Amino acid sequence: MSEMSFEQMLNESFKTIHTGEVVEGTVFSVKPDEIILNIGCKADGILTRSEYSNDNSLDLTTVVKVGDTMEAKVLKVNDGEGQVILTYKRLAAEKGNKRIEEAFNNQEVLKAKVTQVLDGGICVMVDEVRIFIPASLVSDTYEKDLSKYKDEEIEFVITEYNPKRRRYIGNRRMLLTAEKDKAQKELMERIHVGDVIEGTIKNVTDFGAFVDLGGADGLLHISEMSWGRVESPKKVFKSGDQVRAFIKDIQGNKIALSMKFEDENPWKDADKKFAIGNMVTGKVARMTDFGAFVEIEKGVDALLHVSQISRDHIEKPSDVLKVGDEVTAKIVDFNLDDKKISLSIKATLEPEEPEEEAVKADDDDADVVSVNIEEVIAAEDAAAAEEEAKPAKKTTRKKKADEAPAEEAPAEEAPAEEAAAEEAPATEETAE
């Protein structure tokens, strides 16, 4: 047997490879977009970025270094330039398929980073296998914006495995629901009606707020947020707020909460504080067409009816009052059972002064003296008769009558009463 030449020995040392074969090589050169492997053949193995990963922005120098060994699958034995074209991602996908199949059959929980966010869901990669998680299966609650999951590591299970159609569906909601069910069961076993508990506002609606109690949500109804009146829960709370409340009721898995602690009840001793006749001062809290509600103590509103605001006629309370005004009024009605209090400003005013016309009439009446007219006439007649009986006075009186000025009215024009008075003395003289 003749000795082999060096070239023959060299060629003998190189192994023969075939398309589809899995080979192992050593990295002796790496660039951002290409890896060159020594695979023990005459030609080097070329592994491009597109055949290493589905991430077109990946810098290969960050994942491998010279001297590393790795497996790859042969795509072409000769690319026309004497080089062997390799693929890493397809080999990884084949291995990944087996991994996914096992996870699907065993309902194993997988963990992977979200690589892509789509309109209808998110995508994760497990051993180069692309798994799609629909938006409805991402969370146990509706989430409009899924962008927050980008590059986040999440846990999920495979609920659909179809390698022929390359369809792999993941489900994260199932895990979240299971965790919540477990936490809820533990919570319901340890809480009781009357327990004081702390939680985080999860969602605020027009009728109340849902509070995360760490395993279950409790409803804090608008009527249980305060002893006072709450116009809108959204003006009081926002998502993320911490609250302290007590459990008012439990029905199945439903928990009703309240913040109306009894030791803060403003209606305690209300029959004494708000007894009828007491004077109170408060601020107008809200207005209606029929009156104004005045907060006389935190959590206690009293009605000041429009008819009790002033003695003058008022069409609407807003004509004379506004929200925030401070008023002092008297309590005129109190109903503890219905928690209703009525106020009156009118009742605090001094009694009304008599009207001007009445005062004038009273003054006029004060000058009037009650007189008996008949007695006065009789007294005057008696006095006249007595004067006529005296001669001196009679002569003087007659002389004065004769000397009366011409311009004076004739005797016949004198009133009948005066004529009768003149005749009376003459008759008396004749009689004498």
Candidates 2.40.30.10, 1.20.1250.20, 2.40.50.140, 3.30.110.30; CATH matching 270-348: 2.40.50.140
CA 421 – CA 410 distance, rounded (Å): 16
CA distance readout (Å), 43 to 49, 70, 80, 84: 19, 17, 11, 6
The answer to whether 201 and 208 have CB atoms below 8 angstroms apart is: no
Whole-number pLDDT of residue 14: 53
pLDDT class for 417, splitting at 50, 70, 90? very low
Fill in the DSSP letter of residue 347: G
Q: Is the pLDDT of residue 358 over 70?
A: no
Per-residue buried b or exposed e for 50-88, using 16+ beta carbons within 10 Å of the residue's own CB? ebbbeeeeeebeeebeeeeebebbbbebeeeeebbbbbb
270-348 matches 192-264 in CATH topology: yes
Return the CATH superfamily for domain 192-264: Nucleic acid-binding proteins (2.40.50.140)
pLDDT class for 354, splitting at 50, 70, 90? low
CA distance readout (Å), 204 to 23, 200, 238, 328, 391: 60, 11, 7, 37, 119
Whole-number pLDDT of residue 387: 66
- Residues listed for the chain: 432
Nearest to 198 by CA among 259, 264, 260: 259
Q: What mean pLDDT is reported for the chain? A: 81
Whole-number pLDDT of residue 377: 53
Nearest to 243 by CA among 262, 224, 230, 228: 224
Nearest to 177 by CA among 162, 159, 203, 150: 159
Half-sphere exposure in the Cβ direction for 401 (13 Å, CA):
10
pLDDT in tens, 174-226: 999 999 899 999 999 999 999 999 999 999 999 999 999 988 899 999 999 98
CATH architecture of 10-87: Beta Barrel (2.40)
Q: Which residues pair with 303 in a beta bridge?
A: 293, 342
pLDDT in tens, 235-255: 889 999 999 999 999 998 899
CATH number of 107-176: 2.40.50.140
- Please compute the mean of the pLDDT values over residues 67-93 and round it to a whole number: 86
Rg (CA), the chain: 57
First vs last Cα of the chain: how many Å apart? 215
Question: Would you list the domain boundaries of the chain?
Answer: 10-87, 107-176, 192-264, 270-348
Dig out the tokens for 27 from the structure. Answer: 């990295």
Q: Is the pLDDT of residue 231 over 60?
A: yes
**Residue 41 one-letter amino acid:** C
37 vs 403, more confident: 37
Q: Which residues pair with 133 in a beta bridge?
A: 122
CA 202 – CA 222 distance, rounded (Å): 15
Q: Is the pLDDT of residue 140 over 70?
A: yes
Nearest to 332 by CA among 344, 349, 345: 344
Instruction: Look at residue 320 and give its three-state secondary structure.
Output: coil
Whole-number pLDDT of residue 210: 95
Whole-number pLDDT of residue 314: 87
> Which residue reads 């042969």 in tokens?
74
Q: Is the pLDDT of residue 302 over 60?
A: yes
Whole-number pLDDT of residue 233: 93
Dig out the tokens for 403 from the structure. Answer: 């000397």
Nearest to 84 by CA among 130, 27, 36, 116: 36
Q: Is the pLDDT of residue 307 over 50?
A: yes
pLDDT in tens, 24-77: 999 999 999 999 999 888 788 999 999 998 888 889 999 999 999 999 999 988
Please enumerate in sequence order all residues whose Cβ is within 8 A of that of 39, keeping only pairs 6 or more positions apart, or say none.
Answer: 17, 23, 24, 25, 45, 72, 84, 86
CA 45 – CA 39 distance, rounded (Å): 6
CA 31 – CA 52 distance, rounded (Å): 13
Whole-number pLDDT of residue 375: 59
CA 64 – CA 173 distance, rounded (Å): 36
